[in-house]
Structure 1
Amino acid sequence: MGVSDNKREGKRSARERLQRERVADKAREKRRRALVAGAVVAGVLGLVGAGGLVAAEIGERSEAGAAGPVSAPSGANGDDNLAITVGAQDAPSTLTVWEDFRCPACAQFENAYRSTIHELEKSGELKVEYHLATLIDGNMGGSGSLRAANAAACAQDAGEFAPYHDLLYANQPPETDDAFARNGRLLELADKVDGLRAAPGFEKCVKDGTHDDWVDKSAEAFRKGDFSGTPTVLLNGEAVFPKKGNENITPANLKKWVARANEGKKRGTPGAAGPAAPEAS
């Protein structure tokens, strides 16, 4: 065998060895995931791997906190005061939204339907009840879902939940980038909402995690609910995302569904215009 033949044989052996190592790595990872998944409480939305353990730990912390009072943000309502409502309280229809500030699909929903939802809120046809989850912290690791949800609850205390909520989704980092775990980034975005950063107690609320226990309790309610994932969007209790019955959701269809639900009903007290379109930066 010549020198060139030896080189080719060496390269082939190296490739084969690398392939064997990759197969072995995949097998080890598969076994690891199976072991971890077995440790996670059944039914936690299919969370697996290391993220599943994080979700289980968050759930345990939430259950411990649920035994006593939690620091709900100002104006929170609904079951256990876990909802933040935007729009006229007497609107005839309610859009219930379970979402996670790190969830890409949630951002897609919010950024696509924001103007339609605000239009319906402004006209008194619809109010929206937001429930905050921390699913991506469980799936991917990190704390950006929790930190952003706490900051949004702090914005609720300051009367600026809606614009700050919209701004977070307009500036959502990639799912694997836990940028929202940094309070500095959350406060930087708050600067874009008029008066929010300077609102009494807001910055301290963000830094101290004042509403962390409330977010945990909301996340626990999500895990215990019969939900397939985030976003979960319900119109008067009926799922409308990604479709309602056989019809896919679109801005026009959402308006149509709300109009049908409101037939013969009085509109709610018209509110102020929805927040201006948020900036992405």
Structure 2
Amino acid sequence: MWPGQQPPGGEPNPQHHPHQQPGNPGAGPPPPPDRPPGFPPAPPPPGPDGGPWGGAPAPDARPRRTGLTAVVAVAVAAAAVAGVLVITDDGKDSGAGSAADAVQGPSGPAGSGGPDGSGDPDGSGGSRKLVTPAHSSGPDGTTVVIGEAGADHTLDLYEDLRCPPCAAFEQGVGPAIAEDIEDGTYKVSFHFAAILDKNLGGSGSTNALSALGAALDVSTDAFLDYKAALMSAKHHPQESEDSFSDDDYLLTVSQEVHALRTNASFRAAVREGTYDPWAKKAVAAFDASGVSGTPTVELDGSPLRGSGGSFPVTAAEFREAVNQRIKDD
């Protein structure tokens, strides 16, 4: 069984006011000057003769006119700049495009914080719109059930696509499960975790699930075949490697699946992260399930055990456990 999830970290440090220094909460922005910058100082009080220079002879008027001209020139220049800014702003509003337009995602401006996947308040995928793959169901499309709807039994399979024990289970038991689905022995409900992303860092578990969602949108057979290819001994990485975080690697693996090899919509969905919000919703559903490790397999709601109560890791052990459970029912 793969280890449980890492407990969440501590609370982030509080945000400091932009005008306060750390450790000095009383400091604030500097007080405004007595007079706005750029204005000439106030003249001195009148002199005994009523002149502006305290009774001294008035200086030549030429420097005064020059200073006045400089002030007027500055004011004119400021007005010209203001005019340019106004014109630029008008042009932006009239069709040049605003900054908000540039960062707006399919579901609204980034960081809008809505419950539909925008702003990522619940790990649903940032500002992207939640798109659910075809052949999914349930809340937010996170239920993936493959097999005959009227099957008498349901196999629940909990996996982390980046998890080596899950890959070993897929390699040993996956073909038997695919045959049982075909025969109608049971239907399979798939659940996906991102335990390694959380414990080791990286995004391979979630990114591979997003690509698997793109395969599910093509067909359930493409989903099963692509999942088998991702978990194969040929393509599955070591737990210390985050190969599945690379879209190019995921697309290379997809060449093993005939239905995906030349499928342009699948490739575009992987490149664009179309199903990233869906993958995060699926991971959140696993986190709420109460299952603490992967792989975990349950038949009709009860853990499935092989001989001696161990987890079935071979097709023979798995089939024996399934047949015994069905017989007992």
Structure 2 match to 1:213? 277
Cα-to-partner distance string for 1:199-244 (whole Å, 9 max, x where unaligned): 2411110011111111111111222221121112111111125x58
Per-residue deviation, 1:251 = 2.8
Alpha carbons of structure 1 residues 263 and 77: separation in structure 2 relative to 1, 3 Å? farther
> How do 1:1-281 residues align onto structure 2 when only pairs under 5 Å count?
45-47=4-6, 61=120, 63=122, 65=124, 70-159=130-219, 160-170=222-232, 171-240=235-304, 243=306, 246=309, 248-249=311-312, 250-262=314-326
Alignment identity in percent?
Answer: 32
- Tell me how far apart the structure 1 counterparts of residues 121 and 186 of structure 2 sit (CA, whole Å): 31
Moved more, 244-253 or 184-193: 244-253
Gaps of 5+ in 1: 1-43, 54-59, 266-281
Aligned residues: 212
Per-residue deviation, 1:177 = 0.8
- Tell me how far apart the structure 1 counterparts of residues 274 and 300 of structure 2 sit (CA, whole Å): 31
Cα-to-partner distance string for 1:82-138 (whole Å, 9 max, x where unaligned): 122232222221111121110111111111101211221121102211122211111
- Tell me how far apart the structure 1 counterparts of residues 184 and 276 of structure 2 sit (CA, whole Å): 32
Per-residue deviation, 1:263 = 5.3
Higher relative contact order (CA 8 A, sep 6+): 1
- Tell me how far apart the structure 1 counterparts of residues 170 and 196 of structure 2 sit (CA, whole Å): 17
Structure index of larger Rg: 2
Alpha carbons of structure 1 residues 205 and 93: separation in structure 2 relative to 1, 3 Å? same
- Tell me how far apart the structure 2 counterparts of residues 251 and 137 of structure 1 sit (CA, whole Å): 29
Cα-to-partner distance string for 1:237-276 (whole Å, 9 max, x where unaligned): 11125x58836525334324433554599xxxxxxxxxxx
Structure 1 match to 2:110? none
Gaps of 5+ in 2: 10-118
Q: Which has the higher helix share?
A: 1
Give the 3-state SS of the residue equivalent to 1:233 in structure 2. strand
Q: Which amino acid aligns with 2:224?
A: A
Q: Which amino acid aligns with 1:219?
A: V
When normalised by structure 1's length, the TM-score is 0.67
